[in-house]
Structure 1
Amino acid sequence: MIMIYFSHPICQKHNNGGNHPESAQRVARIEDALIFNRLLDFVLMPEPRKANDEDVLRVHSSQLWESLKAAQNPDEIVMLDSETAIAPDSIEAALTASGAVLDSVDALMNQKATTAFCNIRPPGHHAEVDRSMGFCLINHVAIGAAYAIEKYDLQRVAILDFDVHHGNGTETYAEIEPKVLFCSSFENDIYPFSEPGSPFENIIKMPLARGAHDEEFLSSWREHVWPKLRDYQPELIFLSAGFDAHRWDLMANLDVSTQAFEQWTHELREIADEVCQGRVISVLEGGYDLRALTDSVVAHFKALANL
């Protein structure tokens, strides 16, 4: 089994300003931890390409994309809303982040790798088809899924999102793309204050109560998603890998441990080996306590790489 790892220094140049929780330290500390644990010794590490307008427009409206390009100022940070910023290097960072996901799709579909981890920012899963929000400018996982469907004629793609905040942006894409199965666990009644259910058959939402711990987190996936994946037989699986459900992360109120993320990944890997030749692309989303984030990514990475 071969794993491929994507990151790029430009992702650290996206700047939200001030003491914003979504900082460049996130990807830097993750890479430091992976190097310290000798995990990058065992993977491919090519430089990702930049996505282009065509890639973005497979998912996002032209109005959104043109408004982002118009908003970017070469000299200062511009706030799109109270928490989402665009800085002088943000569009290049976002396009490179999406490019990492596109390159992951090519690598897996052309059998150059089995799994991929994209250590990228800004995150993407809150970016809706026609709206940037929640620290997110464009939706990298959705862009990757749309590319895979068009280029490789895939009929069944799964996107699994375990970030503590619901991936409302990815949900807006799944509502218009029936070839995508979107499954999301999240803390109920926090940002982005999504409805707990969906009328769409290809969307599974698993709201968790404040304080939910490992067993509740894992049980929701075991009950609602693992059987569905075996029935659905996806040809490719994307992960929106947010680690802010961790008990040390103060951005939310769940009680999930590092070990639970590792166990979740082992279980997902087993199913992926059964249904899609192990093809899994994991894309970093949230996670804001740096120790919890790095510990969780190391555990997730080891399980994903079968190390």
Structure 2
Amino acid sequence: MTTAYYTHADCKRHEMGSWHPESPERLQAIEDQLIASRISTLLDHRDAPSAEESDLARVHTADAIYRIRENCPSEHSEYDHFPLDADTALNSYTWRACLRAAGAAIAATDAVIDAEIENAFCAVRPPGHHASRKESMGFCMFNNVAIAARHAIDVRGLQRVAIVDFDVHHGNGTEDIFRDDPHVLMVSFFQHPFYPYSGDGEPASNMVNVPVPAHSYGDVIRTLVTEKWLPALRAFQPEMIFISAGFDAHREDDMGQLGLTEADFAWLTRQVMAVAKDYSKGRIVSCLEGGYNLSALARSVTAHLKVLADLE
């Protein structure tokens, strides 16, 4: 099984301040753990190309794109960062990092559809699932998974794609973009009540939102996936599956209060792969979202990739 690993150095150059948990060190921790676990050489490493603005425009408004492109400080600016909100900011490399992050997801989508590879993981930042059509928020500028899913539909002609989101936070941006879209099924669980304080209302028919209380552990998540996610995914019969892979639901991650472990993320990945094998020709593209305890993040991504690459 060929699993590609997409990333780019530009994704490490975007940063929002030395204090910020969504840091460049996240990608370095993952790479170090892959080497330590002796699986790095078993992956197909690929540099992420840059997306075009037209790719972003399939899911984001012109104003949303303009706000990021035009407000990044110049390398010679007296200001290091431009704040979008209390916890989301731009630096001089953010625009390039955004294009690489979206470009990785698109390139992975094309490579999987063209059967160059069986699946892919995009180790990119900024993350994306809080970015809605009109707004960047929650560490996210543009919605990488949504951009790739829309590319699969509009450019590559797929009729049914599924998005699996297992971040501790609700993927409100992805839901905003695809609400009531018959080509897309989104399944997710997330801690609630919790940022961004959404996802607990009556969802659209193509959304399977499962809010869970703080301190829920792996047994709770496995039950809800078995009872709610898997029947919906199998009924939908997706031609391709995208994963918003957030690892901040890990019990060691202080960003949330859920209790998952590496074994739970591996189990989740196996369930998604089984659906993909039955209906999607095995086609999966996974993109990094959250995960802020560096050790837990690196171990969890490694567990995720071991399953994707059939190394367990």
SS of structure 2 residue aligned to 1:79: strand
1:2 Cα deviation (Å)?
1.2
Aligned to 1:23: 23
Match of 1:205 among 201, 204, 209: 209
Tell me the amino acid that sits aligned with residue 2 of structure 2.
Answer: I
Aligned to 1:228: 232
Structure 2 residue runs of 5 or longer lacking an equivalent are none
Q: Is the 2:255–2:292 Cα contact (8 Å) retained in structure 1?
A: yes
Aligned to 1:35: 35
Match of 2:142 among 138, 144, 149: 138
1:270 Cα deviation (Å)?
1.5
Aligned to 1:285: 289
SS of structure 2 residue aligned to 1:287: coil
Tell me the amino acid that sits aligned with residue 87 of structure 1.
Answer: N
1:152 Cα deviation (Å)?
1.3
SS of structure 2 residue aligned to 1:217: helix
SS of structure 2 residue aligned to 1:80: strand
Aligned to 1:62: 62
1:188 Cα deviation (Å)?
0.5
Q: Is the 2:170–2:199 Cα contact (8 Å) retained in structure 1?
A: no
User: After alignment, is 94-103 or 32-41 more displaced?
Assistant: 32-41
Q: Is the 2:131–2:137 Cα contact (8 Å) retained in structure 1?
A: yes
Superposed, 1:80-99 pairs within 5 Å as 80-99=84-103
Structure 1 residue runs of 5 or longer lacking an equivalent are none
User: After alignment, is 21-30 or 196-205 more displaced?
Assistant: 196-205
1:304 Cα deviation (Å)?
1.1
1:40 Cα deviation (Å)?
2.2
Identity %: 41
Match of 1:186 among 187, 190, 197: 190
In the superposition, the TM-score normalised over structure 1's length comes to: 0.98
1:219 Cα deviation (Å)?
1.1
Q: Is the 1:198–1:204 Cα contact (8 Å) retained in structure 2?
A: no
Q: Matches of 1:39 and 1:197 in 2, distance apart?
A: 42
Q: Matches of 1:69 and 1:157 in 2, distance apart?
A: 29
Superposed, 1:68-83 pairs within 5 Å as 68-74=68-74, 75=77, 76-83=80-87
1:174 Cα deviation (Å)?
1.1
Q: Matches of 1:16 and 1:176 in 2, distance apart?
A: 34
Tell me the amino acid that sits aligned with residue 28 of structure 1.
Answer: Q
The two structures, once aligned, show a CA RMSD in angstroms of 1.0
Aligned to 2:167: 163
Q: Is the 2:172–2:199 Cα contact (8 Å) retained in structure 1?
A: no
User: After alignment, is 34-43 or 1-10 more displaced?
Assistant: 34-43
Q: Matches of 1:150 and 1:211 in 2, distance apart?
A: 40
Q: Matches of 1:119 and 1:46 in 2, distance apart?
A: 11
Tell me the amino acid that sits aligned with residue 227 of structure 1.
Answer: P
Superposed, 1:222-301 pairs within 5 Å as 222-301=226-305
SS of structure 1 residue aligned to 2:47: coil
Q: Is the 1:166–1:185 Cα contact (8 Å) retained in structure 2?
A: yes
Match of 1:153 among 150, 153, 157: 157
* CA 1:197–1:204: 2 relative to 1, 3 Å: farther
Aligned to 1:196: 200
Q: Is the 1:163–1:241 Cα contact (8 Å) retained in structure 2?
A: yes
SS of structure 2 residue aligned to 1:64: helix
Q: Matches of 1:171 and 1:141 in 2, distance apart?
A: 11
1:87 Cα deviation (Å)?
0.5
Tell me the amino acid that sits aligned with residue 10 of structure 1.
Answer: D
Match of 1:107 among 102, 107, 111: 111
Q: Matches of 2:201 and 2:283 in 1, distance apart?
A: 28
SS of structure 1 residue aligned to 2:150: helix
1:261-295 CA deviation, whole Å, 9 max, x = no partner? Answer: 11111121112111111111110000001111011
1:191-231 CA deviation, whole Å, 9 max, x = no partner? Answer: 00004133311011010111100011111111111111111
Q: Matches of 1:95 and 1:188 in 2, distance apart?
A: 31
User: After alignment, is 131-140 or 223-232 more displaced?
Assistant: 223-232
1:3 Cα deviation (Å)?
0.9
1:176 Cα deviation (Å)?
5.5
Q: Matches of 2:279 and 2:86 in 1, distance apart?
A: 42
The runs of at least 4 aligned residues of structure 1 exceeding 6 Å deviation read: none
1:18 Cα deviation (Å)?
2.8
